[in-house]
Amino acid sequence: MTATRTADPTAHETLYRNLRARIMVGELPPGKPLTLRGLAHDYHVSMTPAREAVRRLVAEGALTLSASGRVATPALSDDRIEELAALRALIEPELAARALPRAHFALIDRLATMNARIADAVERHDAVGYIRCNLDFHRMLYLRAQAPAMLAMLETIWLQLGPTMRALYGRVRRNEPPRHHRMILAALRAGDEPALRLAIRADVTHGLRHLTGA
């Protein structure tokens, strides 16, 4: 049985995708140590798929690898948080603006439904559910931009920020969905690109200021 799992060429891909998704939505806190042996045990694979998955995640910045070989989720400095927030503030308004001509009313209705799911997660104090729905809200809009390279770059940024976003949720006590989402929805309905860019930029930078004290 072990030999079958080890020979499975999809073993490392499955581990990689699962661990990547967990990091992106904040299931793992900043600075969480991981071991190849522990990952192999948890995902019922050999050390080789675990090592390959970790290698890919380190290359994406989702995990850090110290000189001594210690693997952990990133614990970002204030400067790094500010840098990633600045990148979000550049990329996401552009994606939203590109999506605007294709943002039909059915899409806007789906975004409003997703925003209601965010409200449910807030009410349940479900940090991971909140982050997952929030990213889905943005991804749903940005897919309409038809800019796959830009979206792939953005997802790498989200991935690096995942554990930090979980820490942010614990610091900022939310009792309602992000208020900027209402502004985003209103701008989409009005077809107002400047207002949409402004709302997106405010949404992606507002929360991170609580972590840096900016």
Q: Note the pLDDT of residue 125.
A: 84
Question: Of 34, 57, 72, which residue constitutes the final position of a domain?
Answer: 72
- Dihedral of CA 139/141/142/144: which sign? positive
Which of 72, 94, 124 finishes a domain? 72
What average pLDDT score do residues 198-203 get? Answer: 95
Q: Which two tokens stand for residue 114?
A: 């997703």
CATH number at 12 reads 1.10.10.10
**Count: domains in the chain:** 2
What gap in Å lies between CA 133 and CA 75, rounded to an integer? 23
Which range in 74-78, 109-113, 128-132, 206-210 is most confidently predicted, on average pLDDT?
109-113
Mean pLDDT of the chain: 88
Do 39 and 139 sit in the same domain of this protein? Answer: no
pLDDT tens-digit readout, 72-111:
999 998 899 889 999 999 999 999 999 999 999 999 999 9
Q: In terms of domains, do 83 and 180 share one?
A: yes
CA distance 28 to 73: 7
Taking the C-alpha atoms of residue 91 and residue 75, their distance in angstroms, rounded to an integer, is 23
Query: Quick one: 90 and 196 in the same domain?
Result: yes
The predicted pLDDT at position 178 comes to 74
- 186 pLDDT higher than 50: yes
As a whole number of angstroms, the distance between CA 197 and CA 145 comes to 13
87 and 187 belong to one structural domain:
yes
3-state secondary structure of 177: coil
Letter for the amino acid at 66? S
- Is the domain of 34 the same as that of 88? no
Instruction: Give per-residue pLDDT as tens, 13-44.
Output: 989 999 999 999 999 999 999 999 999 999 88
DSSP state of 157: H
**Full residue range of the structural domain in which residue 19 is found:** 2-72
Strands 64-65 vs 71-72: parallel, antiparallel or unpaired: antiparallel
Cα three-residue angle 29-93-18, rounded to 5 degrees: 35
Dump pLDDT digits (tens) for 133-184: 999 999 999 999 999 999 999 999 999 999 988 877 766 555 666 789 999 9
CA angle at residue 120 from 27 to 139, to 5 degrees?
60
Q: Report CA-CA distances (Å) from 187 to 25, 32, 122, 150.
A: 27, 39, 24, 22
Residue at a domain's end among 38, 72, 106: 72
Indicate whether 62 and 90 sit together in one domain.
Answer: no
The answer to whether residues 185 and 203 belong to one domain is: yes
